[in-house]
Amino acid sequence: MKCLLWLFLLILVVGCHVSKKKAPFEKQLSEIPLEDQKKLETLFHHMMTGDYFACTLFGDKPMTFQEFFEDPWKLPSAGMANPYCFFYLEEGWKTWIKYQNQFHSSRFIFTKIPSKVGYEFIILINKVAFEKMFDRNRDVFEQALGPQITVEQIFQDFEEGKKPFSKVLNEHEGLVGLVLGYGREGSMQVYHNGRLKQQILRHTLYPLSPPMEDNKLPRKILISVRLQEKSLVQRGIKWDQLSNHDLEFSHDPYTDLCQSSQQCEFLLPSWHERIFHILPPNFTIVKGSEEAKQLKKEYDAAMQVAREAFKTKSFLMGFLEQYCK
């Protein structure tokens, strides 16, 4: 009889301990009005299905961001197809700000910083994954941001939210790819191609230059360069104002750009994967790259974990559980 009594007491103590562990989190949510919970649910639903935040939350993707317009009703005509998307993101973010101090995370940075004029970025950083990526690619960070740069300084710049995203990374396309988890090979290939395009554009925008040699570029690449040229002209940027990170000068950037672009391809999720709403990221890779194969394997695994997690819980609860873990 005494053994049964002790067993009953033990079960009671363990049950109380478990309930105490769960109670604070459940209590926090219960104190948030239902209307605000709905706004947060919409925010996290869009983050998980409209972009690639799940890979950062459940995997080793260093960072994911979602761009939105700060005033959706003043969107340019190209973005007015779905202004409600921007509206829900803004409303969701304002709601998160009200309650963010109740949900502390030592593993993630969840913040918002300015982007180009009128736009802002919601950013989620996996700090452990970011630090590992930084250590593996310190040479690229030092080339772009100076030898004194530290991962702590980058975290501080993002958390303060004063510098635009492009300024934090000094407009270095290679760094953008690295922090977004696209791998070194693909990121540096995009960076290299970007530098070749800059060389062509510097020549094209120079007042005394002859017209661009259109016949040397395939149509797809030519359209990309022309669009960049149009954007630079509209912004009033002159040839000598183009950013110029270290890159060996090419005597024939047209030929080099064609050859370099042929080495790249775009990694897209399969049609079977696209029927699931939580998708792995798509990005430029080097054809046949072992690094790209490894990244795909890692992100596919993270997607499976995320999909399983959200089968049984809301996006709000699933996000908070992982974020606060």
SS3 sequence of 191-225: HHHHHHHHHHHHHHHCCCCCCCCHHHCCHHHHHHH
**The predicted structure's pLDDT at residue 79:** 46
Whether 13 is in a domain gets the answer no
Alpha-carbon dihedral angle through residues 70, 75, 79, 84, given to the nearest 10 degrees: 60
β-bridge pairing 63-69 and 108-114: unpaired
Reported in sequence order, the residue ranges of 47-201 that DSSP labels E, i.e. its strands, are 63-69, 108-114, 119-126
Whether 37 is in a domain gets the answer yes
How much is the average pLDDT of 6-23?
49
Lowest mean pLDDT among 47-51, 80-84, 177-181, 191-195: 80-84
With a pLDDT cut of 90, the percent of the chain lying above it is: 40
User: Which range, 76-80, 110-114, 134-138, 205-209, is most confident?
Assistant: 134-138
β-bridge pairing 119-126 and 108-114: antiparallel
Whether 16 is in a domain gets the answer no
The model's confidence at residue 177, banded by pLDDT at 50, 70 and 90, is: very high
Lowest mean pLDDT among 46-50, 61-65, 109-113: 46-50
Whether 4 is in a domain gets the answer no
296 touches 48 (CB < 8 A): no
Whether 7 is in a domain gets the answer no
- Residue 284, H or E segment: strand 283-286
Please list, residue by residue across 228-253, b when 16 or more beta carbons sit within 10 angstroms of its beta carbon and e when fewer do. Answer: bbeebeeeeeeeeeeeebeeeebeeb
Whether 306 is in a domain gets the answer no
Judge if pTM exceeds 0.75.
yes
**DSSP letter for each residue of 17-57:** HHHHHHHHHHHHHHTS-HHHHHHHHHHHHHHHHHSSHHHHH
3-state secondary structure of 123: strand
The domain of 67 spans 33-176+313-323
3-state secondary structure of 186: helix
Residue 98's identity, in one-letter code, is: K
With a pLDDT cut of 70, the percent of the chain lying above it is: 81
Whether 71 is in a domain gets the answer yes
pLDDT at residue 41 greater than cutoff 60: yes
State how many domains the chain has.
Answer: 1
Strand partners, 63: 125
More confident call, 67 vs 75: 67
The model's confidence at residue 18, banded by pLDDT at 50, 70 and 90, is: very low
Sheet of strand 63-69, all strands in order from the earlier edge strand to the far edge: 63-69, 119-126, 108-114
Whether 261 is in a domain gets the answer no
The model's confidence at residue 196, banded by pLDDT at 50, 70 and 90, is: confident
Lowest mean pLDDT among 13-27, 239-253, 303-317: 13-27
Please list, residue by residue across 76-105, b when 16 or more beta carbons sit within 10 angstroms of its beta carbon and e when fewer do. Answer: eeebeeeeebbbbbbbbbebbeebeeeeee
Residue 314's identity, in one-letter code, is: S
Q: What is the mean pLDDT of the chain?
A: 82
Lowest mean pLDDT among 37-41, 51-55, 180-184, 251-255: 251-255
